Structure 1
Amino acid sequence: MDPGRLRMLGMDSEVWKRHASGWSVWTRFATLPILYLAIWSHVELGWPLALACIGVVAVWLWLNPRVFPAPRRFDRWHARAVLGERVWLNRAIVPVPQDANRKALGFSLLAGIGFVIGLWGAVWPSIPLIIAGTALTYCGKLAFLNVMAGLYDLMRDAHPLYRSWTQIPDNDNGRDRQNDAQRAG
């Protein structure tokens, strides 16, 4: 994905760091059943209110990577998965290994098929379709994220840009404030 498209989505460097938070990853991950419920609500509430519910979920999905603070550590699985996704989206500029790319595309396809099945089940109310779609989506997404964590591990030292994503500037100002606070306490 080119940088212009990422900017349109508002996914700048700071947002990506925040998205690497466990709170962001796991609350976003848990949103799928809520989206299906919002769609399903058209049965009881009608489409105008269901669309409002879907809109609320969409706003949450946009806000999610922005509301949680960046993690203190980037070595946890969820943080590495998010950083790997960022590496993968940059593959047109810095190529990634073919095997990782093939796996990522395959697992994305699986998650996408599951998502469509779940959507179908929510629109034409069918609990078995929603369950099957949710299971396929989660399996595909978890496998995709696992590939992304491995991709980040492989690529983090392949380009200076990737190394910079998790570096914390070392300066005297922060250390002096910390030392002053320790002496005062």
Structure 2
Amino acid sequence: MDIFTLAARMMAMDDAAWAKHANPLSVYSRMSILPLMTLAVISRVWLGWYALAPIVLVIVWTWWNPRAFGRPKTTDSWAAHGTFGERVFLNRKECPIPQHHSRWAIGLGIVSGVGAVPWSYGLWSLDYGMCLFGLALMIGGKLWFVDRMVWLYQDMKGTHPTYRSWQR
């Protein structure tokens, strides 16, 4: 099992959650998670152990976000296609995808993962410059990943009846 599949499994994403996550409000508000987690962890400076409360709230928001918004009226958006592409990518063992899409997705996952190092160090040492640098790598890598998933969906939507059915 790879890190992408593990993350999807931890989020307990079923078809209903994926359909709701295709809502642009879900996709764009999801970008709030890392900045909110940053603030929650840094809040230990003034909240002490009570900082665990905002940390737990951000974790709950992370899980609830894909389920928080209704299904979009139309799926003709960049955000929806990015979500569809992510599903196609996660299904790559059952329905193979072009190798260049896989390389890009893994590479951008690595960029985001590398960003976690300065971000974590910045949180630990309260070095806000390192926090911002790590956030830029993680969020930038994730946004670029979503954009690549749009391309993947565009290339793959005609290859599988399920993929075509997502479009409304």
TM-score w.r.t. the length of structure 1 is 0.83
In the alignment of these two chains, the number of paired residues is 166
CA distance, structure 2, for counterparts of residue 8 and residue 25 of structure 1: 18
Is 2:76 the counterpart of 1:67?
no
Trace 1:105-184 onto structure 2 (pairs within 5 A): 105-167=106-168
CA–CA distance in 1 between the matches of 2:149 and 2:81? 7
Does the 8 Å contact 1:21/1:68 carry over to 2? Answer: yes
Q: State the distance in 2 between where 1:116 and 1:20 align.
A: 30
What is the letter of the counterpart of residue 41 of structure 1? S
Q: Which residue of 2 aligns with 1:94?
A: 95
Q: Deviations over 1:7-44 (max 9, x none)?
A: 66331111101101111011111221111110111122
Q: What stretches of structure 2 of length at least 5 have no aligned partner?
A: none
Amino acid at match of 2:19: K
- Whether the aligned pair in 2 keeps the contact of 1:74 and 1:80 (CA below 8 Å) is yes
1:5, distance to aligned residue in structure 2 (A): 8.4
Name 2:37's counterpart in structure 1: 35
SS of the equivalent of 2:61 reads helix
Please tell me the residue identity of whatever aligns with 1:35. Answer: M
Deviates more, 1:132-141 or 1:1-10: 1-10
Work out the CA distance in 1 between the residues paired with 2:102 and 2:50.
Answer: 40
Distance in 1 between residues matched to 2:116 and 2:109, nearest whole Å: 10
**Post-superposition offset of 1:151:** 0.2
* Partner deviation per Cα, 1:58-112 (whole Å, 9 max, x = no partner): 0011111111011111121111001100110111111111000000000111011
SS of 2:119 mapped into structure 1: helix
Describe the shift of the 1:3–1:27 C-alpha distance in structure 2 as closer, same or farther (beyond 3 A). Answer: closer
| Larger of the two Rg values belongs to structure | 1
Match of 1:180 in 2: none
**Percent identity over paired residues:** 41
Shift of the alpha carbon at 1:147?
A: 0.6
Paired with 1:32 and 1:60, the residues of 2 have a C-alpha distance of 11
TM-score by length of 2: 0.91
Q: CA deviation at 1:118?
A: 1.3
- Uncovered stretches (5+) of structure 1, i.e. residues with no partner: 168-185
For the pair 1:21 / 2:23, whether they are aligned, the reply is yes
Alpha carbons of structure 1 residues 92 and 57: separation in structure 2 relative to 1, 3 Å = same
SS of 1:30's equivalent?
A: helix
Query: Is the alpha carbon distance of 1:137 and 1:45 closer, same or farther for their aligned partners in structure 2, counting shifts above 3 Å?
Result: same
Letter of the 1:127 counterpart: Y
Tell me the CA shift for residue 138 of structure 1. Answer: 1.8
